[in-house]
Amino acid sequence: MGESAMGALVPSVKSEPAPSDAVGEVSAPAPETQSPLPAPLQEKADAAAVELDKDFLCPICMQIIKDAFLTSCGHSFCYMCIVTHLQNKSDCPCCGRYLTANHLFPNFLLNKLLKKTSARQMAKNGTPFEQLRQTLQQGCEMPVNELDCLLALLMDKKKKMEQEAAETNMQILQDFLHCLRKQKLEELNQIQTDLEYIKEDINSVERRRMELYRAKERYTVKLRMLVDDPSAANAWPSLIDRRSGGMTSSLQNIQAHCRMNTGNSQSWKADAKVLVSSQLVQRKDSHGGSDAQHVTQSGLALARKKRVLALFNDLQECYLQKRRHGARQSYKQEERDTNVKKREGYHAGLEDFQSVLSTFTRYSRLRVIAELRHGDLFHSANIVSSIEFDRDDQLFATAGVSRRIKVFEFASIVNEQADVQCPVVEMSTRSKLSCLSWNKYTKNHIASSDYEGIVTVWDVTTRQSVMEYEEHEKRAWSVDFSRTEPSMLVSGSDDCKVKIWCTKQEASVLNIDMKANICSVKYNPGSSMHVAVGSADHHIHYYDLRNVSQPLHVFSGHRKAVSYVKFLSSNELASASTDSTLRLWDVKENVPLRTFRGHTNEKNFVGLTVNSEYIACGSETNEVFVYHKGISKPAAWHRFASSDLENVEEDAGSYFISAVLIQDPAILCCEVELVPACNKLRAFSDG
């Protein structure tokens, strides 16, 4: 019935009688829609119409025939279809009889039937607009007054639609402006809140500076009193030798001496000044300083201010992030205000940012303090893949494709420069090595993983293997000792398996099957039950070993394989990837914290090392980069210039950093030349 109502729109416009035959022809389909057949007869009629439609299909294009032409063999086709066919073949597509373009004739009867069929379908299924357009195109005649009514109706409909469209546009614009106003109000509220934080912190810092200034003035007054009092001069040398705790009491004693002595002479004053000056010079010299040190300190302060201005936007983002987080934490701990504020008016967020600002501006560059040539006469390929310090940071071990673990004494490398440095311990292995890990409890134990999938625990003292684990089926990329449970270690391999080992038994104690190659594994330094796994599937999987059926967290964000994972603390995890980024994650809250960019790493293992504040990595541009964990841009970097190259710029692509290691404030890194292969191990100091 809905179709009948739609089809009746056009005839209703022509309801008045008209003498024209054309009008009668247009209204002819109306009885079909006004007197519907019973359901069984209607179904038969519909089936017949469908069969009739099939008869009107062109055998070539299988569409309703357009511009029908009849062949000499009695078949009908679309004119363009049959002409195109005859350009390639000279036969009928239906019966195969010989046929040329001269055997084609217009099928006037079929064309007339097609037009009538199309008109009926339009009257039945077409929209009112299509029906009206077809009626006018067929030359329908109507009185002028009916045409005026139709035009007026169409104009009213047009105005109504334009009005509705305008109202819709206004509604969309209004919604946009409301959203924009809401967003800007939120930004304004946030800015006002941030301004309140800044104002509050400025007052806190000014109060703190005033406290420091007053303390400095008190010490200055006491020193002046010492210079003016000759009897107190003899007590000054012993005062200089004392440290922080005894300084205050000594100054109080000096002040008491000053009150007891009332007579002064010019000679005593001069002698006291000379004595005090000499002792101050001695004290400065004992700390490696002099009067020039004040100039140096002033220059350092200026350099630190320049670094702040250079990365002002990043520092601003860091400050606001920490300050807002600190404010949220303070709201949650209102009943424990003393835990939120470390000083009166000094909020935890400001305290955290002050720590970031202090540590970030402390170092500005890297300088080479030592160089160790790590070449091997018997192995031309000598890429160092791992560098690790021992428990006490006195020894460091290197390993790589030379199938040797070499242990060096850090102090002798830095302090005793020599063309050739011999390792204090050297151990040979059967296969190329990929990773090392010192036991943080047993000083002489070190673990290695190799290209054959073997995990070995070595005794550095006896230079013998303590345990060998051969369960991995492919190359093992990473191994790590647990800090809290020194008998436990974890390894990851290209066989897509993570295995947990115990030095007290020969077989693995736990196995984790994954779907992609394992590039790096690391124990959480605060727990022997949590392990981070860097995988070739671009993700970091964080497991609780008490339930390995599924990871505790999966950190996503890298676009390529995750080559390294390292913990800065029990809650902070750093990851490196061949997408040329480092990322910092909060494993407790399961959130990403920061992304670091600046170095280049697209295919090689370039190393990753961390401490509580800094993250360092190598680069395929033969550079080493250092990032502060609170700032996304590099804090410092250094480019190697090899003396073996005449043109460093042209051949720089042949060199890259293969391993790095932090021992505050030094960084060890290994520089690798691809062709010909050689190694240089360099130690850096942050300056």
Tell me what pLDDT residue 50 has: 55
In a domain, 365, yes or no: no
CA distance 565 to 540: 8
Q: Which of 96, 113, 130 is the last residue of a domain?
A: 130
Residues of the chain with confidence (pLDDT) below 50: 1-37, 233, 236-291, 340-343, 643-652, 673-679, 687
Q: What is the CATH number of the domain that holds 75?
A: 3.30.40.10
Helix (H) or strand (E) holding 436: strand 433-438
In a domain, 276, yes or no: no
In a domain, 372, yes or no: no
Tell me what pLDDT residue 13 has: 37
Domain tally, the chain: 2
Contact 552, 542 (CB under 8 A): yes
Q: Which of 110, 130, 150 is the last residue of a domain?
A: 130
Range of the domain at 590: 384-641+650-673
For residues 634, 638, 639, 641, the Cα torsion angle rounded to the nearest 10 degrees is 180
Residue 379: phi and psi, rounded to 5, are -135, 110
SS3 544: strand
Prior bond to 665 cis, omega within 30? yes
Judge residue 507's burial from the number of C-beta atoms within 10 Å of its C-beta, 0-12 exposed, 13-18 middle, 19 or more buried: exposed
Q: If you write DSSP's letter for every residue of 317-367 in order, what string do you get?
A: HHHHHHHHHHHHHHHHTGGGHHHHEEETTEEHHHHHHHHHHHHHHH---EE
CA distance 167 to 49: 45
Tell me what pLDDT residue 417 has: 74
CA distance 482 to 467: 16
The two beta strands, 395-400 and 678-686, are unpaired
In a domain, 39, yes or no: no
In a domain, 332, yes or no: no
Crossing angle between the packed helical segments 312-332 and 348-362, to the nearest 10 degrees: 150
**Helix runs in 381-452, H state only:** 410-415
Helix (H) or strand (E) holding 3: helix 2-7
Query: Long-range contact list for 246-255, CB < 8 A, 24+ apart?
Result: 251/219, 251/222, 251/226, 254/222, 254/225, 254/226, 254/229, 255/222, 255/225
Q: If you write DSSP's letter for every residue of 109-148 in order, what string do you get?
A: HHHHHHHHHHHHHHHHHS-HHHHHHHHHHTT----HHHHH
Could you tell me the pTM of the whole model? 0.64
In a domain, 542, yes or no: yes
For residues 208, 633, 389, 484, the Cα torsion angle rounded to the nearest 10 degrees is 70
Q: Which of 111, 130, 149 is the last residue of a domain?
A: 130
In a domain, 464, yes or no: yes
Tell me what pLDDT residue 537 has: 94
Q: How wide is the angle at C-alpha 570 spanned by C-alphas 566 and 571, nearest 5°?
A: 90
In a domain, 655, yes or no: yes
At 108, list the tokens. 């006037």
SS3 624: strand
CA distance 247 to 222: 11
